[in-house]
A and B are shown apart, each in its own frame.
Chain A
């Protein structure tokens, strides 16, 4: 689905490579963790995976197409097949939570099925907050709204960037459970996190590969977990 081969990335001209020689294959139904210290390049790697950034070297295939040859509209098509929960989950602050969650439907010009929407909002536990405006939400509610928005189109893959970044442990587990559930239904999941406890908790529920960014490249994490 998403395949990176010997990919390198550097921001700007002066700076050296932030990531180098990265090879990664995200297959349907897989479950990955991406870890590494803050500033290691986790967010950057995710952006490469959904076409927000283009690699400075190497090759990235998104659904069988070379990302370098894709237009903005092609990338928009990728965004409909890959749900992304951004680190700073941003919303349209003048629309209600429910409207924000339904936004991908509107953007893809697919008719909303009202039952599905309220079911999805119930699934992430936001039924009581559906009419609220995003700025009124707590950190955990924002994360769950972002997750609901990421999955409303029934994506083949969900990329979650620090989904538990600013929520308490209980809420982290709740979000993890949602992502594991999604994976059981067949969606590939990749979670970027620096929280090793979260990874340990997940290992009890699902067989996940844990990747670590170290020395600018990707390694399979070993027994320290």
Chain B
């Protein structure tokens, strides 16, 4: 299986280029139709699994980008207690598991954040502003319930604001969904290989007499295998093409709404992702090629 494989795959798809190399095996409409149907159905499923996987991936990326693993603690306290409470919170955060770092947002910085809202003339420093502490979490995150309890004990003016944390399970779910979609594509490929192996096996066994005659006139294993491989590769690729077209048509026909967050309406492919399903028919051909080669090698070894 070197660089020659793609060329041989293309050879296998080229119709009738080698005399009647194809015709030495009698046509069998039954296995032919079954193989084509299987490939079409599997390609159809693969397109949906791909769409699901890509859409879940997009969702996971978007949500986790917004999440960014930060939260803030707001401290509002009388002026004389502000300093001690801030110290207490920072000390507490240092010993909280799941907190990577904590940083006090300086007054200048705070003013810069507020300026666009109030304009440069407003004396921000004289407003009774709360102090802000930014927390960066470790990937595992902290326990918000526990942190809130400790904060209320040590610094009654501190409020934990973790509004983005609720999204975390959603991101995990989206990532799992993407992985499951990819796993499904893999399983579909495996099931296709298994079914084509069975069909090729049956076709080879049914043609034992033909194989015997071919051997008597000097056919090598590679020649006999090719007669079968070409057929199954072509049928699988054609069937997969039909299945892919049907799957893509189904996805293209989904209603197109731009409502953000509506997962169902975003199941389609976006941009270059439309190219992914186009790999399904050649892959189906490659799977059929490999499966039939393996089946032929085994049967021809047994038929001696």
Contacts and interface: CB of A to CB of B under 8 A. Distances in A.
A9 interface: no
B218 A104 contact: yes
A106 B20 contact: yes
A84 interface: yes
A76 B219 CA distance: 6
Interface in B1-45: 18-21, 23-24, 26-27
A92 B220 contact: no
Given A103-B24, A106-B21, A80 B212 contact: no
A113 to B, nearest CB: 13
Given A72-B221, A72-B304, A90-B209, A95 B215 contact: no
A104 B214 CA distance: 8
A172 B221 CA distance: 35
A103 B21 CA distance: 9
A79 B213 CA distance: 12
A107 B219 contact: yes
Contact of A109 (B210, B215, B223): B223
A149 interface: yes
Given A92-B24, A103-B24, A106-B21, A73 B212 contact: no
B275 interface: no
28 contacts: A72-B220, A72-B304, A73-B220, A76-B218, A76-B221, A78-B218, A79-B215, A79-B217, A79-B218, A90-B213, A90-B216, A91-B213, A92-B24, A92-B26, A92-B210, A94-B23, A94-B26, A95-B24, A103-B213, A103-B214, A104-B218, A106-B19, A106-B24, A107-B218, A107-B219, A108-B218, A112-B19, A149-B217
A104 B218 CA distance: 7
Contacts of B209: 90
Nearest to B218: A79
A37 interface: no
Top 8 closest A-B pairs, CB basis? A79-B218, A80-B218, A94-B26, A107-B219, A104-B217, A76-B220, A73-B220, A76-B218
Contacts of A91: 213
A109 B220 CA distance: 11
Nearest to A81: B218
Contacts, number: 61
Chain B interface mostly helix, strand, loop or mixed?
loop
A107 B20 contact: no
A63 to B, nearest CB: 13
B215 to A, nearest CB: 7
Interface of A: 72-73, 76-80, 84, 86, 90-95, 99, 103-104, 106-109, 112, 149, 153
Give the interface size bracket for B toward A: 20 to 34
A172 to B, nearest CB: 23
Contacts of B219: 76, 107
Contacts of B223: 107, 109
B209 to A, nearest CB: 7
Contacts of A153: 218
A193 B113 CA distance: 108
A107 B226 CA distance: 11
A103 B25 CA distance: 12
B118 to A, nearest CB: 86
Given A80-B218, A109-B223, A99 B213 contact: no
Interface in B180-231: 209-210, 212-223
B30 to A, nearest CB: 15
A80 B219 CA distance: 9
A76 B223 CA distance: 11
Nearest to B212: A90
B216 A84 contact: yes
A195 B24 CA distance: 35
A218 B153 CA distance: 111
A86 B26 contact: no
Given A92-B24, A92-B213, A94-B27, 10 more contacts: A72-B300, A76-B219, A79-B215, A79-B216, A90-B213, A94-B26, A95-B23, A107-B223, A109-B18, A112-B19
B97 to A, nearest CB: 67
A76 B220 CA distance: 6
A73 B24 contact: no
Nearest to A111: B19
A95 B216 contact: no
B217 A107 contact: yes
A72 B297 CA distance: 12
